[in-house]
Amino acid sequence: MRNGLNFLMNRLKKKIESLSIKEILELITSCKDEYKLLMQNSKKKIAEIGARRIPDVSTDDNFVIMTHCHSSIVNAILLEAKRQGKDHFKVVATETQPRLQGRKTVRKLLDAGIEVIHVVDSAMRWVVNHYEVDLIIIGADSITSEGTIINKIGSRLLALVAHEEHVPFYVASPLLKYNPQTSFGILEKIEMRDPKEVWEDAPEGLTILNPAFETVSRRYIDGLITEAGIFASSHVHNYFAKLYPDML
């Protein structure tokens, strides 16, 4: 949404002095539709690129991919791989406390005929070790100019597990999730959500912390899977500027 507003405002600034009110409203509608198409096309491209990271044939016919929370982009990659006839892989999906978004991922993958293993968040390291996970892919809520990504709480823990166990760790995200303001020193804020999501009838006097997101440093990310290709997350600003100059 942030980049969508930049896209719209930059278009308006270039033409607003010569437009009538009616023409301004028409331009807003046109920009909205164009931006929606950009998002749809980027998702399709990412699915095609990301699916290539899933091999056609596995030596043990048991390629294991792990993900965290619910990402429509990650799901698109897995569904595209399935559509291509890659039937040998299975997915480990976390439950994602406290709102259990991981169950949405599980249902969508099961409906597509993909084998899924469901696991509690605190068992991340155990499952990576015991199920010999081959690849980890998560989504992103935001990307900074330094190549740090912000995603659902638990993402950094999974990245650290991947680093410890030498498992490739990828982040799949449209470049539209990049925040250009971070190149000027603006920091992304971590949202603290309602404590009642964690414990609705908690004892009086208890302090409950419910951070919704956390950062994952570029040092733990093997590659950013985007509509522009797969590259080190620290290069995100250059690719964004090249692909979407109207949003800077």
How many CB atoms neighbour CB 177 within 10 A?
23
The question of whether 141 is a catalytic residue gets the answer yes
- Answer whether 88's CB lies under 8 Å from 114's CB: no
Query: Residue 149 — φ and ψ, nearest 5°?
Result: -110, 150
Length of the chain: 248
Distance CA 177, CA 4 (A): 10
Of the candidates 33, 61, 111, 141, the residue annotated as catalytic is 141
How many CB atoms neighbour CB 208 within 10 A?
12
Q: Give how far Cα 162 sits from Cα of 122, 127, 221, Å.
A: 14, 11, 9
Of the candidates 69, 121, 134, 222, the residue annotated as catalytic is 69
For residue 156, which of 176, 136, 174 has the smallest C-alpha distance? Answer: 136
Residues acting as catalytic residues: 69, 141
